[in-house]
Amino acid sequence: MRQLSFPTLLAGLVAVLVGYASSAAIIWQAAAAAGASAQQIAGWMTALGIAMGVSTLGLSLWYRAPVLTAWSTPGAALLATSLQGVTMNEAIGVFIFASALIVLCGVTGLFARLMKLIPHSLAAAMLAGILLRFGLDAFATLPANALLCGVMLIAWLIAKAIAPRYAIVATLVAGLAICLVTGQFHPSQADITPALPGFTLPHFTLQSLLGIGLPFFLVTMASQNAPGVATLKASGYQVPVSPLMTVTGLIALVMAPFGVFSVCIAAITAAICQSPDAHPDKHKRWLAAAAAGGFYLLAGVFGGAITALMTALPLAWIQMLAGLALLSTIGGSLQQALTHETERDAAIVTFLITASGITLGGIGSAFWGLIGGGICYAVLGMARGWRK
C-alpha cells in the first residue's frame, strides 16, 4: 500500500515499542504474583500481543480512525500487588469478571453517556497531563546520558527544520547509531521460540471478585478507557464509544483464560499514531494504528522474549524517543485546552491534577483530574450565569 509511508509505519512501531517498554515488566510481575511459571507468563505475553493486534487492526480498519488498544497498565500494577496468595484459576476468574462488567458498560451505553459530559477542553487538558511525564522524562535523561540524548535531540531538531515528517526517523537512527558505537546495545540471549498460550480454567470466589475484580474494573475504566476515549476525542476523532467498550470487552472476555487480563482503548501510545508526525492527513493516520496492530501481532509471536528484548536498548533511548515523538501532541493538547478563556481555569486544574500522578482509592490521576476540572467547570459556569 503506497499510502503506508515509512514515517507512518514508524509511528506504529514506536507506539508498540513504548507500550511494551513501559509496562511489560509490570505484567510479568502481576502474572508472577498469581503463581504463573515462566512458560505460562510467556504464553500470557503471546495472548496479549494477539489480542491487541486483532483488536487494533479490526477497529482501525472498521472505523478508518487511529484506534489503538492496549492492556491496562494501572490495572496490571493493581494486580501485581493484589494477586499475592491468589491462585491462577482465581486470577482468571477476576479477569473474566472485570471484562464482563466492561461489556455491560458498552452494551448499556452507560460509559458513552458519561463521556459525552466531558468538555473538549478538559479532555485535551487531561491528555496533556498524561503525556507531560513522557516529555519531562525525555529531558531528565540528558545529564546522565548527554551523548546519546544530545545526539538524538540534535538529530530531531535538524530533521524537524528540514524534513519534519522524518524527524522521529532521524531521531531513532541517530540513537541506534550511538548505542552501537558506545556499546550500549546489548542483544538479548533469550529464546525467541514462540510460546503457545495455555488455557486456565477459571475459579470464582466472592472474596476475589469483590476484593480484586471490582477495583480492577474501576481502575481499568477510570485510568485507561476514559483517557483512551478522551484522547480520541481530543485528537478530533468521533468514534462511537459503546461499540469500542463492547468489542474490547468481548475480546478480553474470550481470551481471559489464556492470560489476557484486559483489552482497553490506548491513550499514551495512541497519541503517537494520532499525531501529525504519523501522517499529515488526519484521515490517513489510521494507517499508523493499523501498522501498530501488525507489530502487536509480531510481538505476540515472540511473546516469550519480549521483556528480554526490551533490555537490549538503554532506557534513556526509549524515553527520549517517546518524549520527542509526543511533543507535537503535548503542544496541540495544551493549545486546545487553553483556547477558550472561560474554560481555561478548569482546564488548568485538570492538567495539573493529571500531571501530578496522584492515586486516590487505587484510581489514577487522570480520573481525578477530570473530576477536579469538572467541578471547577460546573461551579465557574454557574457563577457566570448568576452574574448575568
Structure confidence by residue, pLDDT tens digits, 54-96? 999 999 999 999 999 998 877 887 788 788 888 999 999 999 9
**Percent above pLDDT 90 for the chain:** 37
Cα torsion at 330, 333, 335, 340 (round to 10°)? -160
* Cα–Cα distances in angstroms (integers) from residue 188 to residues 192, 301, 311, in the given order: 10, 16, 7
Q: Quick check: 116 pLDDT over 80?
A: no
Convert the pLDDT of each residue in 27-47 to its tens digit.
877 888 888 887 788 888 889
The predicted structure's pLDDT at residue 278: 84
Residues 326 and 194: their CA atoms lie apart, in Å, by 32
DSSP state letter for 192 = -
Residues 134 and 320: their CA atoms lie apart, in Å, by 8
Band (pLDDT 50/70/90 cuts) for residue 156 is very high
Buried b (16+ CB within 10 A) or exposed e, 347-360: bbbbbbbbbeeebe
- The values of phi and psi at residue 265, to 5°, are -80, 125
Mean pLDDT of the chain: 86
Give the pLDDT mean for 312-335.
84
The predicted structure's pLDDT at residue 148: 95
| CA atoms 169, 170, 174, 180: torsion sign | positive
- Helices 286-301 and 6-33, interaxial angle, to 10°? 40
- Locate the DSSP E strands across the chain: 69-70, 264-265
- Closest by CA to 275, choosing from 316, 232, 318, is 232
Read off the pTM.
0.74
Bridge partners (DSSP) of residue 264 are: 70
The predicted structure's pLDDT at residue 63: 94
The percent of the chain in helix, strand and coil, each rounded to the nearest 5, is: 75, 0, 25
Q: Which residues contact 87 (CB under 8 A, 6 or more apart)?
A: 34, 35, 203
Cell of 155: 538529530
Q: Quick check: 312 pLDDT over 90?
A: no
Convert the pLDDT of each residue in 121-146 to its tens digit.
888 888 788 888 888 988 998 999 99
Residues 84 and 86: their CA atoms lie apart, in Å, by 6
Cell of 344: 481555561
Band (pLDDT 50/70/90 cuts) for residue 1 is very low
Do 124 and 333 meet the contact criterion of CB atoms below 8 Å apart? yes
- The values of phi and psi at residue 319, to 5°, are -65, -45
Neighbours of 382 (CB within 10 A): 10
The predicted structure's pLDDT at residue 72: 84
Q: How many helices (H) and strands (E) does the chain have?
A: 19, 2
> 3-class SS at 360?
strand
The predicted structure's pLDDT at residue 236: 86
